[in-house]
Amino acid sequence: MTDEDVAGPSHSAEETEPEIITRSLSLGELRDLLREFTRQTNESILTWLLRIWDAAANDTILDGSEARQLGSLSRDVVIDQGIGRTQQTLSLWRRLLTSVRDRYLCKEDLQVHQGKWSTMEQGTRCLRELAVLEIIFSEDERFPKSPDDVQCTSQMWLRFARLGPEMYSRYLATLQWSEGEDKVGILVNKLRIYEDTVTAPFRTHVSSVETRLAEQVRSLIEEGHQKLKKELKEEIYHISPEPTRVSAIRSRYPPARERGYTPRGNLWSFLREHGEDMRNWDGKPTSSLAARVHELKRETPTMKSSSRANTAPVSKAQNPRQYKKNDMTDPLEGTSGTYLQEESNVYHDQE
């Protein structure tokens, strides 16, 4: 065995980097990128960067010309200008990190998760946004470019825990992790496992209870509606409409023609034929006209009968009483004895 055989080959194996094959993107592809990666209204910078990382922005390779054709990608003029500043072929993710770092001077200028997070999904996103913040302001070229590969620091974890709700505080305080060793992606997996094994069944139980309560409430409401509808129908069935004042008067005093009373026109004609000054009776109630007719009948029975006798002597001789009763035109014929009182009552009620 020679020394050369022991030492191995004289030339060391050269490490070769994978060759990146790029091609120019069409206008349609650029429009698709713009539609997918454009920052939404009111979306924070860190939330936007994390979203496009998950959408494979690191695998989107662009040259300077293509990057400038993306237009207003971040809705920030300074960041958009920085994206296409270099002509070097780089991933969209690297361009964005550099442009955002040039736009903001320090970490405090970037907002991490607006307000407190209330669900574990929001919590894991908050922790990953903190990792993106570390990537942006890292000066180390070897620093990971993936949020899930960033090692979690105590400062990151404390900030993440303070933004969480009380229901997760005990678990977050007892979660075992080593600073400088555990990566954000590993901690995110632990949080998701805890969510699936502990809180998810509890939420499922609460949801089922809420569903049952909602069904019971709907059933009670429907039962109440049916009962109320039934009671209303029964009340409407038993309630009879009360007669109005006019209908009550008409029911007590039906028309004179139906009850056999003498019409007012007949009384008026009788008084005029007997020489009454009708101007004195204008506007007088019917009861007054009827009373006057009665008086005239009592005063002139003989005169009427004699005048009738001259015109029909044969009939008078045969049956004088029957003649007087049948032939004399009596304007009060068929009028009952209580006519005057009832007509007077009707008149006063109408007034």
> Do 165 and 266 sit in the same domain of this protein?
no
Mean pLDDT of 250-264: 56
| Greatest mean pLDDT range, 137-141, 297-301, 334-338 | 137-141
pLDDT at 77 over 70: yes
Average pLDDT over every residue of 31-46: 90
131/31 same-domain check: yes
Confirm whether 210 is domain-assigned. no
Same domain, 155 and 252: no
C-alpha distance across the termini of the chain, in Å: 146
pLDDT of amino acid 31: 87
**112 vs 31 pLDDT, higher one:** 31
Whether 38 and 140 map to the same domain: the answer is yes
> Bigger pLDDT: 131 or 246?
131
Predicted pLDDT of residue 197:
85
- Please check whether residue 74 lies inside any domain of the structure: yes
Shared domain check, 42 and 180: yes
Please give the backbone phi and psi of residue 90, each rounded to the nearest 5 degrees, phi first: -135, 165
Instruction: Give a yes or no: residue 311 inside a domain.
Output: yes
Q: Are 262 and 184 contained in the same domain?
A: no
**Residue 290 in domain:** yes
| pLDDT value of residue 347 | 46
Residue 20 lies in a domain: no
- Band (pLDDT 50/70/90 cuts) for residue 330 is low
Asked if 33 and 131 sit in the same domain, the reply is yes
> Does residue 204 sit within a domain?
no
Most confident among 59-73, 101-115, 227-241, 307-321 (mean pLDDT): 59-73
Residues 291 and 170 placed together within one structural domain of the fold: no
Residue 41 pLDDT greater than 80, yes or no: yes
160 and 265 part of one domain: no
Say if residue 170 is in the same domain as residue 259.
no
Q: Which of 150, 173, 190 corresponds to the end of one domain?
A: 190
**How confident is residue 8, by pLDDT bands cut at 50, 70 and 90?**
very low
Q: How many separate domains does the chain show?
A: 2
**pLDDT score of 302:** 52
State which of 150-159, 169-178, 225-234 shows the largest mean pLDDT.
Answer: 150-159
Average pLDDT rounded to a whole number, residues 255-269: 66
pLDDT band of residue 100 (cuts 50, 70, 90) is very high
* Domain assignment of residue 279, yes or no: yes
The verdict on 31 and 177 lying in the same domain is yes
**Structural domain range at position 295:** 248-350
In a domain? residue 138: yes
Mean residue pLDDT of the chain comes to: 75
Residues 182, 261 within the same domain: no
Higher pLDDT, 56 or 347: 56
Give residue 232's pLDDT band: very low, low, confident or very high (50, 70, 90). confident
Per-residue pLDDT at 86: 86
At residue 332 the predicted structure's pLDDT band, cuts being 50, 70 and 90, is low
